[in-house]
A and B are shown apart, each in its own frame.
Chain A
Amino acid sequence: MNRSKLVGVGAVAMVVTLGSASVALSRAGAPAPAPAPVTVATADGAFKVDSVHSSVVFRVKHQDVAYFYGRFNKLEGSFNVDAADASKNSVDITIPVDSIDSANANRDKHLKSQDFFSATEFPTITFKSKGWKATAKVDGEQAYDVVGDLTFLGKTKEVVAQVRHTGSGTGRGGVEIAGLEAKFTIKRSDFGMNFMVGKGLGDEVTVMVGLEGGKQ
């Protein structure tokens, strides 16, 4: 923004401020008006996951050489963000295993088989947070260590995810929106997914989740 525009914006702001002050003075003695609704999202509140704008990506090492990335194309759930009190935060998401996408139809079938996710037998993966602890900001974003229960293949285990509150704002139709990003690493063998562990496919799987939600 150049200097002349800045001056212009400042002048408009002064006029609006002075105008408001004069209106306020003229109403002196009258009951104080209700405060105007805050239009800038504070990110506080419960949000429903917008699956179209959220992502679940995972990576696993292949042949102990390179990381392979896959994703799940669907997820649903909700999260709660309270900037002032981390203990009020929560996240509860469900991922349909059938939506796995490794960019190869045959590999997707194999991933859905009993060798890996047994998608028909265990159709969902769920994560439910149990405790949030605020940590130092990262890149200006509030970060948390989140303890939660991860369930898949019928087994539930506690994991710790590094979560960041990546932003908040106003979406289409004036709906308040907020975003979280989570990252955690698990050993798939802890959940009974042993196929090819140590024989070409890594045991450690890193999961990255980007959530965007609209206020409920």
Chain B
Amino acid sequence: MDPAMVKNLALGAVPPGVLALLFFLLAWRRRPAERAGPALVATPIFMALAVVFTYAITFQTPRLAPLAAFDWLPIIAIAAGVAGVFAALERLPLVVRWTPAVLALLFAAWAGAKNAIATSWTPSQTGAHLLEAVVFGIVLLGAGHSLVSRRAGVMPVASLMLFAGAACQLLVLGFFSMKVGQVAGMGASMAIAALPVARWRPATRVGPGGMVFIVVMTLAALGQGRLYGQATPEFARIYTALLTLSLVGGALVAAGLGERCSARIRTTLVLGVVALPLVAGLGIAGKKWQDEQRQQGSEPDPYAVTTE
């Protein structure tokens, strides 16, 4: 890999990870679990600011008047952060608490497709796109809420890491969208950084706010990859289904197991289910890539997105 590409990848991954490590260490410093409220509310605010900052130093100064779908991502990050704050305010009525998350999904889907909506899509195409994004998002937010929101420790953080990390891999390797993949990867970086803190201080929670932020941002990036990436529609559909299955399967297994087994076994089983579709997906992608190489000739293709 080119040194310049390594630098670019590091710029997108290391700052959010380091910032998240500091944030989670500070936020969960000797904090009893019952007094977690401020930390849970601060989590989506921190995440939004970290993504905007990393976007600015890695790609470009955020634009107040976005032109391309990619320009909208920092604004979507702010919207996801605000939605996360509402979700973290657990005393709010259910509708008030979750409506901003649905609106953030809708906004992300609209902003990502804005140019197509303005130039070539029919109203029915636009409606179908927005509806699909919102329904798909609600399913994943529901699974994420069940798996992550109320649970503390390693398992919920690792589940989010696997989800966002797999989306990042998909976008970079499958869709040829390095930049958008890196934005999804920022969520994975922050989750990776929270892992040692959660291991060290088991009361650590990402909470509903952090979950909403990571799921909305991951879906925003994934939505842009599906619209503008260069993967075949079949590949995009298969991998999106696997990502959905990952989070939904993990939530179902976690709910089914309940307290019937030790925390260690529960974590292992849930993460195994969360990771299984993703591992299978990577296997499919790897085999497909190998087949393409064989079709192109005996020599391996010297170009990959990460070699530039």
Q: Which residues of A contact B (CB under 8 A)?
A: 63, 104-107, 109-110, 112-115, 118-122, 153-155, 192, 194-196, 199-201
Contact = CB atoms under 8 A, between A and B. Distances in A.
A155 B70 contact: no
B229 A107 contact: no
Contacts of A63: 2, 4
Given A118-B69, A121-B227, 13 more contacts: A104-B302, A106-B176, A106-B305, A113-B228, A114-B68, A118-B70, A121-B116, A122-B115, A194-B60, A195-B59, A199-B8, A200-B8, A201-B4
B75 to A, nearest CB: 15
5 contacts: A115-B305, A118-B68, A120-B227, A121-B69, A154-B115
B126 to A, nearest CB: 15
B175 A199 contact: no
Contacts of B303: 104, 106-107, 110
Contacts of B60: 192, 194
Contacts of B7: 199
A121 B115 contact: yes
Contacts of B229: 113-114
Contacts of A121: 68-69, 115-116, 227-228
Interface of B: 2, 4-5, 7-8, 59-60, 67-71, 115-116, 175-180, 224, 227-230, 296, 301-305, 308
B232 to A, nearest CB: 11
B224 A114 contact: yes
B59 A194 contact: yes
Given A121-B68, A121-B115, A154-B68, A199 B228 contact: no
A15 B123 CA distance: 75
A104 B300 CA distance: 12
Given A192-B71, A199-B7, A201-B308, A113 B227 contact: no
Contact of A112 (B2, B70, B230): B230
A200 B4 contact: yes
A105 B303 CA distance: 9
B214 to A, nearest CB: 21
